């Protein structure tokens, strides 16, 4: 159910969409982006990669399955002990038709109530098709949702939208990273390997995927040092997903270069793909409207294999399919690209000691086509150990 308050979504180019409040009443600012996922809205809302973004759902009806205590993706050191992974990271939520009732045996409450509880301002009842067409044409842009006392005259709301910082140049990974680190133990027995996971906005399901393969995961803050990794006796390093502009993540890039210099196996996803790419000498750029959804086809050029993937990124690496290039750590290749637009979706060193992909192989809401990449990294760890 929506609220009874009038609400407005104001875009920085002056376009205004009017509807009713959804979730908390007030004001929120962020970058307007759209996600094409038909399922998994709870995983989307709790994904730290959406920090400072106002997410537009293209699925016409949202909230049918309510909210539960298990599906959140925002586990961190502060919430790890209690198991609360349900912090909502999106800045705001935009939907067409909120479900009037919750219908799931797993639900512990409604989406509307959870948005209110966490103070997330949203808007419902607008033509999301027209909005998405606008964002595809003009590109993702700064925006704001206003309701209640915050719903003032159009000029004042537009000024507030324009005065907020752009996502270009935003250093956000440290804002979502764990402060002190934590450990996820392997499932069913002793650890086969130890992996240091650099938390740039890591999702709950990622350490779980490692744990299912007998790997102990030490989740470390985004400003972790090489000394910390070596002190753990880590067999390998993982670079997580995360928000913001990868061009600002010089600390993570420096750490990645140090890890590569040590010859430690390395695996990265999403933001971690951009970090590895930068460490190997590639540049990044801001995409027009990015890739956000769970139906994006990716080609692995070494095998010809195509995977349908979950993605959430507004930046990408410069490069062409199959491009090989020299790095201080040996030859590397652009290993994956998007079948839709040719965007770079993966890089690897030709000696296979490090690789990364732009998508989410841990995708909790699916699809699971890319889960084999965790097995690939495990095999790499096994080979080094031998």
Give per-residue pLDDT as tens, 34-66.
999 999 999 999 999 999 999 999 999 999 999
**Count of H helices and E strands in the chain?**
11, 20
- Consecutive H or E run containing 58: none
Active site residues: 270, 360, 362
State pLDDT tens for residues 75-123.
754 445 445 578 999 999 999 999 999 999 999 999 999 999 999 999 9
Average pLDDT, the chain: 94
| pLDDT score, position 81 | 46
pTM of this prediction? 0.95
Q: What is the mean pLDDT of residues 353-377?
A: 93
Q: How far apart (Å, rounded) are the C-alpha atoms in residues 32 and 65?
A: 24
| pLDDT score, position 77 | 46
Q: Is 147 annotated as a binding residue?
A: no
Cα 27 from chain centroid? 24
**Residue 30: strand pairing partners:** 143
Q: In the numeric block, which tokens belong to residue 319? A: 């490069």
State the DSSP code for 146: E
Q: Quick check: 97 and 61 in contact, CB under 8 A?
A: yes
Instruction: Scan for tokens 């959140």, then name that residue.
Output: 72
Q: What is the mean pLDDT of residues 212-228?
A: 97
Q: Of 341, 358, 349, nearest to 272 (Cα)?
A: 358
| pLDDT score, position 83 | 52
Q: Is 277 annotated as a binding residue?
A: no
pLDDT of residue 74 exceeding 90: no
State pLDDT tens for residues 121-170.
999 999 999 999 999 999 999 999 999 999 999 999 999 999 999 999 99
Cα–Cα distances (Å) from 161 to 13, 14, 130, 165, 192, in that order, read 10, 10, 20, 9, 50
pLDDT of residue 173 exceeding 90: yes
* β-strand pairing of 6-11 with 27-35: unpaired
Q: Is 223 annotated as a binding residue?
A: no
Q: What is the mean pLDDT of residues 187-215?
A: 94
Q: Is 27 annotated as a binding residue?
A: no
115's CB contacts (< 8 A; 6+ apart) are: 22, 23, 24, 88, 93, 122
State pLDDT tens for residues 287-341.
999 999 999 999 999 999 999 999 999 999 999 999 999 999 999 999 999 999 9
Q: Is 17 annotated as a binding residue?
A: no
pLDDT of residue 376 exceeding 90: yes
State pLDDT tens for residues 245-296.
999 999 999 999 999 999 999 999 999 999 999 999 999 999 999 999 999 9
Residue 364: which pLDDT band, with cuts at 50, 70 and 90? confident
Residue 20: which pLDDT band, with cuts at 50, 70 and 90? very high
Q: Is the peptide bond prior to 367 cis by the omega test (within 30 degrees of 0)?
A: yes
| pLDDT score, position 2 | 61
Task: Please report which residue ranges of 212-282 form alpha helices under DSSP H.
Answer: 226-231, 250-262, 271-279
Considering the chain, what percentage of its residues have pLDDT values greater than 90? 91
All domains of the chain, ordered by start, with CATH? Answer: 6-163 (3.50.30.20), 173-385 (3.40.50.880)
Q: Is 315 annotated as a binding residue?
A: yes
Q: Is 302 annotated as a binding residue?
A: no
**φ and ψ at 360, to 5 degrees?**
-115, 95
Q: Is 295 annotated as a binding residue?
A: no
Q: What is the mean pLDDT of residues 16-29?
A: 98
């Amino acid at each position: 159910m929506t609220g009874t308050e009038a609400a407005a979504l104001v875009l920085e180019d002056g376009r205004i969409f009017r509807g009713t409040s959804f979730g908390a009443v007030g004001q929120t600012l962020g970058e307007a982006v759209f996600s094409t996922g038909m399922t998994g809205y709870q995983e989307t809302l709790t994904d730290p990669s959406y920090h400072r973004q106002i997410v537009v759902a293209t699925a016409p009806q949202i909230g049918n399955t309510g909210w539960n205590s298990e599906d959140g993706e925002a586990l961190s050191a502060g919430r790890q002990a209690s198991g609360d992974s349900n912090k909502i990271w999106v800045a705001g939520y935009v939907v067409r038709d909120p479900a009037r009732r919750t219908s799931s045996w797993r639900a512990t409450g409604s989406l509307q109530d959870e948005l209110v509880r966490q103070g997330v301002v949203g808007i419902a009842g607008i033509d999301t098709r027209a909005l998405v067409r606008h964002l595809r044409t003009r590109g993702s842009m700064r925006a704001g949702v206003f309701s209640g006392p915050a719903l003032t005259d159009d000029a004042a709301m537009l000024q507030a939208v324009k005065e907020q910082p752009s996502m270009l140049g935003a250093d956000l990974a440290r804002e979502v990273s764990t402060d002190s680190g934590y450990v996820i133990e392997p499932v069913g027995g002793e650890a086969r390997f130890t992996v240091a996971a650099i938390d740039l906005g890591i999702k709950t399901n990622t350490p779980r995927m490692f744990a299912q393969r007998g790997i102990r995961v030490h989740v470390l803050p985004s400003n972790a040092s090489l000394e910390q990794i070596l002190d753990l006796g880590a067999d390998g390093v993982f670079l997580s997903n995360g928000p913001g502009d990868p061009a600002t993540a010089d600390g993570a890039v420096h750490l990645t270069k140090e890890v590569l210099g040590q010859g430690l196996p390395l695996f990265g996803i999403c933001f971690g793909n951009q970090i590895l790419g930068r460490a190997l000498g590639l540049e990044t750029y801001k995409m027009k409207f990015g890739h956000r959804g769970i139906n994006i086809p990716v080609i692995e050029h070494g095998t010809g294999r195509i995977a349908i993937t979950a993605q959430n990124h507004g930046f990408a690496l410069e490069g062409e399919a199959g491009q090989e290039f020299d790095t201080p750590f040996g030859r590397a290749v652009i290993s994956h690209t998007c079948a839709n637009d040719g965007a770079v979706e993966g890089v690897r060193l030709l000696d296979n000691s490090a690789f990364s992909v732009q998508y989410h192989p841990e995708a909790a809401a699916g699809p699971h086509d890319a889960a084999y990449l965790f097995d690939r990294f495990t095999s790499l760890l096994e080979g080094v150990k031998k």
